[in-house]
Amino acid sequence: MNHTYDLELSDVVKDFGGTRVVDRLNISIEKGEFISLLGPSGCGKSTTLMMIAGFEGLSDGQVKVRGNRIDHLLPERRNIGIVFQAYALFPHMSVRQNVEYGLKMRKVPAAERKSRAGKLLDLVHMTAFSDRYPRQLSGGQQQRVALARALVTEPSILLLDEPFSALDRQLREDLQREVRALQRSLGITTIFVTHDQDEALLMSDRIAVMNRGKVEQCAAPQNLYKSPATEFVARFIGRGTFLDGTAVAGGAAGLTIDTPIGQVQGMKGPDAGSKNVRLFFRPEDVTSDPVGEMDRGLAITGPVRAVYFQGASTTAEVLVAGLDAPLLFDASEMVRHRSLSEGDTLSLHVPRTKIHVFARQ
C-alpha cells in the first residue's frame, strides 16, 4: 500500500519564457511537518510556493494534497492558507473583520465567524486589538493578524513566504518561536520560504536547500549542518574553511589527499571518484587539543589575524600559509582559560573525521 503524504510535489517544473526556474522538483511532506525552502534569491523557492498556492501554473509535474491532485484547481478551491512578506491586510477593515474575511467569502454564518475569529485572535494574542485598524498596529501585530486570517479557514496546508523579513531582529526571533509553537499545537503542515539560514535552522523539522531550481539536499537541520551533501550546502549553511586538494592514493583504508597545508589520510572520497577535491571543515571542528593517531587529520600553525567576540561565542581568524582565506577557529573554549589576541601563534588540529570531501568542479 502506497504511503500518502500531506503534500507531495512530483517532477514540478516552471519555465518563464526560455528560462527554467524550477527544475524537476520532488518533495514529500508528512502531516504536521514544518519544512523550509531555503536558498539565495532567484533559486525558485518563492515560485515553488506560488505554484503550491495556485498563483502560478506548473509547466510540468504534479502537486498533491493528501493523495489528491490540486494543480488544476483555482487558489480558492485548494484550502491552503498563505501569509506573505507584505501582510496585505485590508486597511479599511478592523482586525476582527480582516480575520473574518475568508469565512465571510465562504458564506459562514456571522455567529460562527465571530466565534472562530475570536479563537484565532486569542491564539495569536490579539484579542485586545480586535477593533483596531491595521494602521494602528505595529509590524509584529500585523503579522499576527495575517497569521490568524490564514488559519481561520482551517486550511490543510499553511504557506509562509518570508513573513518575518521586514521585522527587527528581536521581534523576528520572538515571532519565529511563537509561530513554531502555534504550528506544533495545531499540527498543521507548513511550508516556509526564507533566505535566512538561522531562521530555517531554528524553525524547521526539515530544510530543503535550493539552488538554481533544484533541491541540493533535504534533511533535518542538524544533518544539513553536520553532513552537507554538496559544497553548495556547506557554503550556504553555516561557516567554515575550504581548501583544494588532490587525491594521490586510495584503497580500503581510504583516500590520501595532498593539500597546501599538509597531507591527510584515510578519507572518504566523493561519489564521483574525482582526483581533484575540495576539503571543508567547521570552525568548531578545529581544536587546540592533541588528536589521537587514529583520528589524525590536519596540523595547522599560524598567527591570529582577528578575534571576534559574539556574546556566547568567540571566533578567531588564523592566517595559514597555503590558504587563500583565513582559517576560522571557534575559540570559545580557549578564551575561558586564557587570553587570545591578534598576533598570537596557535597550533591547531582538524580531526580526520570532521573533514568533508567534495568533488572539485
Separation between Cα atoms, residue 162 and residue 40, nearest integer Å: 12
Q: Which three cell numbers stand for residue 34?
A: 514544518
> How far is residue 334's CA from residue 269's CA, in Å, rounded to a whole number?
32
Output the CA–CA distances (angstroms, integers) from residue 21 to 24, 45, 111, 212, 332, in the order listed.
10, 9, 45, 7, 42
Q: Mean pLDDT in runs of 10 for the chain (361 residues)?
A: 90 95 97 97 96 97 97 94 88 96 93 95 94 93 92 95 85 89 94 94 97 97 96 95 89 84 85 80 89 72 94 94 93 91 93 92 76
Angstrom distance (rounded) from CA 238 to CA 190: 24
H or E element that contains 111: helix 110-123
Q: Where are the domains of the chain?
A: 7-230, 239-359
Distance separating alpha carbons of residues 267 and 264, to the nearest angstrom: 7
CATH architecture of the domain covering 7-230: 3-Layer(aba) Sandwich (3.40)
What pLDDT is recorded for position 2?
A: 76
Domain 239-359 part of CATH 2.40.50.100: yes
What is residue 273's predicted lDDT score, i.e. its pLDDT? Answer: 61
Half-sphere exposure of 68 (CA within 13 A, CB side): 7
**Which SS3 state, helix, strand or coil, does residue 243 take?**
strand
| pLDDT for res 63 | 98
